[in-house]
Structure 1
Amino acid sequence: MPFPTALLPVPLAPEISLHLVDGPVGLFELSGGEFRSDEPPPFWAFAWAGGQALARYLLDHPRTVAGRRVLDLATGSGVAAIAACRAGAAEVGVTDIDPAAVAAAHRNAAANRVTLGGEPDAPDLVLAGDVFYSPTVAPRMSEILRRYRRNSAEVLVGDPGRGYFPDRLFDRVAEYAVPVPAALEETETLVTGVWRMR
């Protein structure tokens, strides 16, 4: 890890602890204040609002995942995947374009005494938190999630109203006021929905 983290409880899901940046630090401060296209910023070092909302929803509604094969797409810290394990999923896999995020998710899973795998064959449920954050990423994520949906997977997304979220494709199933670091989001709370793809 290029910077120190601490094992901290997730604000909206304190049953789960993650290795996170501790202190008032923004995303790009961890990468020297600049974006480098060859190295993704350390998204995994924060508990983003969408992932927290998904985790809370799964912990409160364990029937959503019980006995199912789950994929946490763009896992980041792995918070939603860990919640799926805790809620009784049969198998939980994680993927992310950043290998450091996959490593962080496995490290966080070990800290919570659960085990994650790779992408399951034909997942029953696909989770995606905070994936609609830019105009280039959003259409690609929509297509990936729609492909899973066409293959009969249920798709749940956590999103705090980012500008590129395609709400026309989803129905909201829950909403939470999620505590977030002000240094990251310029506010201390984000109202965040959990959405099911139509």
Structure 2
Amino acid sequence: MLQPSLHSASKWIIRNTLISNESLTPEFKFHLITIASPLWMSTPDECPLPDPYWAFYWPGGQGLSRFILDNKQLFCGSQILDFGAGCGSASMAASVSGASRILANDIDKCGISHQKSRF
């Protein structure tokens, strides 16, 4: 399978996902593969991006993000490493909560791509 450029992958993601805030963190809106998305029942051959784990807001990420948002005082001024960041929800929650520095890391080049202290 050929890897698309980051620009073409971004355009494909926007066209083939739906914006959703139906989660434990309705403050955030993500482009996701949801049950209403045409990709929900697609096969791997129909998705040019391998293993689109970033396109799902995993329950563990939702719970962690909710905890961070509900306990901002624990994260304000802190330095965060979001390892296996996926869609980046924990990093965004840490940013909103006032973390001073955030490094988000994931193996998927099409997922979170920020290495900044603020989003």
| TM-score range for the pair, normalised by the shorter chain length | 0.7 to 0.9
- Paired residue secondary structure (2:112): helix
Residues in 2 aligned to 1:30 and 1:75: alpha-carbon distance in whole angstroms: 24
Alignment partner of 1:65 is 2:75: yes
Contact 1:46 / 1:77 at 8 angstroms: preserved in 2?
Answer: yes
Q: Deviations over 1:105-137 (max 9, x none)?
A: x4xxxxxxx51xxxxxxxxxxxxxxxxxxxxxx
Partner of 1:9: 21
Q: Residue 57 of structure 2 aligns with which residue?
A: 47
Point out where structure 1 has 5 or more consecutive residues left out of the alignment.
34-38, 107-113, 116-198
Shift of 1:58: 0.3
Corresponding residue SS for 1:44: helix
Cα distance change on mapping 1:78 and 1:30 into 2, 3 Å: farther
Q: How far apart, CA to CA, are the structure 1 residues paired with 2:90 and 2:22? A: 11
The CA distance in 2 between the partners of 1:60 and 1:68, in whole Å, is 15
**Structure-2 separation of matches of 1:63 and 1:6:** 32
> 1:54-133 maps to which residues of 2 (within 5 A)?
54-103=64-113, 106=114, 114-115=118-119
The runs of at least 4 consecutive aligned structure 1 residues that moved more than 4 Å come to none
RMSD value, Cα = 2.3
Deviation of residue 30 (structure 1)? Answer: 5.6
SS of the aligned residue for 1:72 comes to strand
Structure 2 residue runs of 5 or longer lacking an equivalent are 1-8
- Cα distance in 2 for partners of 1:93, 1:47 equals 19
How big is the shift at 1:91?
1.1
Equivalent position amino acid for 1:52 in 2: Q
Q: Cα offset for 1:83? A: 0.6
TM-score by structure 1 length? Answer: 0.45
- Aligned to 1:55, what secondary structure does the other structure show? helix
Secondary structure, counterpart of 1:15 in structure 2: coil
Residues 10 and 52, structure 1, Cα contact 8 Å, conserved in 2: no
SS of match in other structure, 2:60: helix
% same residue: 33
Count of equivalent residues: 100
Normalised by the length of structure 2, the TM-score is: 0.72
- Residue 21 of structure 1 corresponds to which residue in structure 2? 33
Per-residue deviation at 1:40?
4.4
Where 2:107 maps in the other structure, the secondary structure is coil
Shift of 1:101: 1.2
Which structure is higher in strand share?
Answer: 1
- Check the 8 A contact 1:67/1:90 in 2, yes or no: yes
The structure with more helix, counted as a fraction of residues:
2
